[in-house]
Structure 1
């Protein structure tokens, strides 16, 4: 009979269960045991541990968090016994924000409740929407802001208004120009302040397929956005909706901080929610452990094309199989079946350009696909914007590609590259 290590990660008790799965490793500490790589660790307020049989011996178990941090625990596996290995991330500042804490979008509770200090950000890019002057002791949260006027939901947006040219025009518009009024075609709606424990400093907004949770209302179109405004800064937030039955969360962090983003978007998907954060880090191999069922996502009629697109970014980024693959038709289906999804066209084009065959027809189709992707409008995924610009740059002598490359690059300067979904700072605050 072998020994067993039972792994789990505990989040803040109470509130919602916050179930998720992250990736870790089991390594033999005395070189006599059996190491296991890329194991899956369940997370939540009280998740059932996942058992992993190992040879008896001493082990170091690690959990790779979506934030990039790595937690470690020592364990002794005993013959015939199940040894629990519990990681703890129970110091979220608010129970309602446990998922955000796991994703790395918010600091520990002590930073918000006075038990710890956090150094202040120095760079403009690291500053949040509200950056109050620090107190004499060097610490200090962000200043006050009217939460009732902080976020405006745009449920329906005409395709012409999410084009590269339209968004760049908004970034150059005079101060005071209404971004929500300019981009929304279905009646933008100012959202009330969230009623949660962290509302004063870290308001958390939740969205479902039909709009804000608790206050749905149409019309809802092919793309939904959120405009977040405070202290002269305006961020246009891409909402990854609809995402099946899962909700999307938008966290606005109103304190000055050297880590994280001022606005973060995550999807409350227990299976692949953490995978999206790994994707944003560039840890595609780690993300691939969670996007294991891309084929089901890309069935004949994908019920969740956004999740399918994320899975395809991971596939193309990690699978370098030469020639045709069984998943090439999936890319065709995703690109052709959802004309509002620029990411589908980006993925197909990049795949064609990366094939090692050197077939001129693939190169031409890839070039045409990049132009098609650009003309569909801004992508959902930040990685998609990067791949689009890289692809267009491969055709420097092509005037059609060069013009689009210029706009794609200028838009990328406004993007928060730490986020999986495209968030654009349209009024970059200067101090």
Structure 2
């Protein structure tokens, strides 16, 4: 009979389902026992702990949070017993924001409720905050910044209006240009009320497959966006919808840490929601543990092409097999079957170029896929834009690639690189 460590991570009771998972490790404290890496840790208000058999002895158990933080607990495993190892993250500022707290998009409750110093703001830019620091739940000094946010849902964006050229033109438009009306096909868009205002400083918006929860809007198309206007900035937020039956959250954080994002998008997918955050960090090996666990589901029918694309980013980023792989046919189906998904063409291009080994046919096909990806419009994934820029840059003497590279590179300057999905700051407030 062996010892067992029963591991889980607790979120605020009642705030989240109990089937989400993150990644962690079990390490022998004295190096005399076998360690276990990339274990899955269930998360929720009252999740059942996952048992891991170990040899008797002392261990250090770690939980790698999607935010990049690592929690650790010491545990003594006793022969014939099950030892509980509970991590806690119950200090979310609001129960409704527990998922955002787990993803690392919001500060602990003490920051928002007066028991800790407010974070220090930094100059507004695509990779920084949108509001000056203030006393908890109090006014901004000198009322320099209006702590309100206006969100407008664009349910059906025509392909021509989410092209690189169209979005760059909108970013260069004079202040006051109506972004929502310029992007959508059905007028000025649908104003969206927050699911939870979070004391007005952290409004949270939730979306289902057909658009905002609790709001009646127009038809939902293949590209949906949210236009967020806050503190002098206008952001065009890519909504990864539909994502099967899962909901998508958009958090507008008007008082966040200097390293946090002003707007964050998270998918409430218990299987791979945390994996998307690992993907945004660049922790592809960690993300791979979650995507590999549900790989067959992702690709069996490509019912969720956005999730399948995320899985392909992880696979290509971690598997450098030069020859054919078991997932190459899935990648071809993803690229060919969803012409509105620029990420599918980006993934095909990168795969072809990496495995080409100088083969002119694969190089040419990869080059053509890059051009196709660009012409499909801005991608869903931030990593996709980065890979597109890198790919086009590999053909500096090709006029068609060089022209597209210029526009893709200029668009990348507007992107919040910490977010998994493309968020563009179209009106950078300058000081």
Specify the SS of the correspondent of 1:73: strand
In structure 2, list runs of 5 or more residues that go unmatched: none
1:272 aligns with 2:272: yes
Alignment correspondent of 2:152: 152
Instruction: Flag the 1:75–1:133 CA change in 2: closer, same or farther, 3 A.
Output: closer
Query: Partners of 1:77 and 1:107 in 2: how far apart?
Result: 33
Alignment correspondent of 2:170: 170
Deviation at 1:144, TM superposition (A): 4.4
Specify the SS of the correspondent of 2:182: helix
After the TM superposition, which of the residue ranges 195-204 and 122-131 deviates more from structure 2? Answer: 122-131
Specify the SS of the correspondent of 2:198: coil
After the TM superposition, which of the residue ranges 115-124 and 402-411 deviates more from structure 2? Answer: 115-124
Instruction: Flag the 1:132–1:30 CA change in 2: closer, same or farther, 3 A.
Output: closer
Deviation at 1:422, TM superposition (A): 0.2
Specify the SS of the correspondent of 2:214: coil
Deviation at 1:30, TM superposition (A): 1.4
Instruction: Flag the 1:87–1:425 CA change in 2: closer, same or farther, 3 A.
Output: same
Specify the SS of the correspondent of 1:242: coil
Deviation at 1:356, TM superposition (A): 4.9
Instruction: Flag the 1:296–1:133 CA change in 2: closer, same or farther, 3 A.
Output: closer
1:82 aligns with 2:68: no
Alignment correspondent of 2:22: 22
Query: Partners of 1:127 and 1:392 in 2: how far apart?
Result: 28
Q: How many residues align?
A: 427
Specify the SS of the correspondent of 2:352: helix
After the TM superposition, which of the residue ranges 71-80 and 8-17 deviates more from structure 2? Answer: 8-17
**Residues 5-47 of structure 1: CA deviation (Å, up to 9, x unaligned):** 0000000123343641000000000122221000000000100
State whether residues 148 and 231 of structure 2, in contact with CA within 8 Å, keep that contact through their aligned partners in structure 1. Answer: no
Alignment correspondent of 2:371: 371
State whether residues 152 and 227 of structure 1, in contact with CA within 8 Å, keep that contact through their aligned partners in structure 2. Answer: yes
Query: Partners of 1:340 and 1:142 in 2: how far apart?
Result: 42
Deviation at 1:129, TM superposition (A): 2.9
Alignment correspondent of 1:294: 295
Alignment correspondent of 2:214: 214
Matches within 5 A, 1:51-66: 51-66=51-66
Specify the SS of the correspondent of 2:390: helix
Deviation at 1:130, TM superposition (A): 3.1
State whether residues 201 and 255 of structure 2, in contact with CA within 8 Å, keep that contact through their aligned partners in structure 1. Answer: yes
After the TM superposition, which of the residue ranges 14-23 and 360-369 deviates more from structure 2? Answer: 14-23
In structure 1, list runs of 5 or more residues that go unmatched: none
Deviation at 1:189, TM superposition (A): 3.4
After the TM superposition, which of the residue ranges 188-197 and 89-98 deviates more from structure 2? Answer: 188-197
Q: Which structure 1 residue ranges, 4+ long, deviate > 6 Å from structure 2?
A: 139-142
Instruction: Flag the 1:14–1:144 CA change in 2: closer, same or farther, 3 A.
Output: farther
Deviation at 1:215, TM superposition (A): 1.3
Query: Partners of 1:58 and 1:289 in 2: how far apart?
Result: 25
Matches within 5 A, 1:169-248: 169-196=169-196, 198-248=198-248
Query: Partners of 2:186 and 2:80 in 1: how far apart?
Result: 63
Alignment correspondent of 1:129: 130
